[in-house]
Amino acid sequence: MIKRTLYFGNPAYLKTSNEQMVIELPESGETKSASIEDIGLLILDHQQITLTQALITKLLANNVALVTCDGTHHPTGMLLNLDGHTLQSQKFQAQIEATVPLKKQLWQQTVEAKLANQAAVLAIEKAENNYLLNLAKTVKSGDVDNCEAKGAAYYWKAVFPDFLAFRRERYGPPPNNLLNYGYAIIRAIVARSLVGSGLLPTLGIFHRNQYNAYCLADDIMEPYRPFVDKVVCQLVRSNGKFLEMTPAMKTALLAIPASDVLIEGQKSPLMNAVQKTTASLSKCFEGKVRKITYPTLN
C-alpha cells in the first residue's frame, strides 16, 4: 500500500486520538483526521504548527518521516524512527562489515542506473542522449573514471531550454529551487525506507562526508533524482522563466512519491519502488543477492 504524503503550510495543531492524527486548523475552525498507519511523509512548512509528543511518538513508531521547513519554505530537518526493523542489529552488522569491493560494485550499479534515467529525461525533452547511454555502459567498479560527474556536466547543459542559461547550484537561481525541494522529498523517502529495511542511513557506500547524517540516503537516491528532474522540466515548459515556487508547483513536486515508475518490469508508485530498492540493498549487504533493484524512467 502506498503511504500518504501530507503537507501543512498553514497554522495547525496536530495531536493523536485512537491511532488517528487529529488536525485542528485555527484559521478555519475545522478539525480533520488521518490514519497514522497510512502516512509515510509529513512535511511541516509553517512556523505556527504544534505537534504533541504523543503524536510524534506514534508517527515514529509507524516509520513516518517528519520533515521541517525553514522560513523560505525549504526542507531543513528530518526526524526518523530509530527502531525500524525486527532484525535491525543483524542488518546493521552486515552493513558495517560490507567489503570495499562490494561497495564499489554497488556504487557502479547506482551510477549506471542514474545515467540511464538521466538519458531518459533527455529523450523526453527531445535532447541528444547517446552520450549518456554510452557513458552508462562504461562505468567501472567504484566509478573510478568519474562517469557520474562527466554525465552531470553534459546533462545539466542539455536538459533545460537555453533561455534559462542554467547552472546546477544549490543556492543558484530557479529552477534550482524546484530541484532542491523535489530532491529533499526524495531524500526523506529514501531515508525512511532505509530505516524500514533495517539499515543505517549514515553509513554510505560512496558518500563519506563526516558532517552528513544521511550518506547512504544520498547514495541510493541518485537514480531517483531524474524523476524530480522530469517534473521540473514539465514546470519549466509550463512557466518559462517564472519559476519562483507557487502552490501549484509545490503540489506537482509533492505528488512525486505517488507517481508511477517502472521497476522489475512492473509499474509501481515511486515510494513503493524505493522500498524495493532499499530491501534489495539490505540483501546485497547480507550476501543474498548481488544487484540493487532500481527503477527505470520511461
Annotated binding residues for Mn(2+), written as ranges, equal: 148, 207, 222
Is the distance from CB of 226 to CB of 183 less than 8 angstroms?
A: no
Calpha distance 14→168 (Å, rounded):
37
Handedness of CA 293, 200, 186, 155 (dihedral sign): negative
**CB-based contacts of 85, cutoff 8 Å, min separation 6:** 91, 195, 196, 197, 198
Calpha distance 152→156 (Å, rounded):
6
- CA distances 64 to 1, 81, 137, 167, 257, Å, are 14, 7, 37, 34, 14
Calpha distance 177→169 (Å, rounded):
9
Burial class (CB in 10 A: 0-12, 13-18, 19+), 277: buried
What is the DSSP secondary structure assignment for residue 141, as one 8-state letter? G
Cell digits of residue 71: 522560513
| Known binding residues | 148, 207, 222
Calpha distance 250→182 (Å, rounded):
9
**Alpha carbon 108 to chain centroid distance?**
19
**Alpha carbon 139 to chain centroid distance?**
23
Reduced to 3 states (helix: H, G, I; strand: E, B; else coil), residue 255 is coil
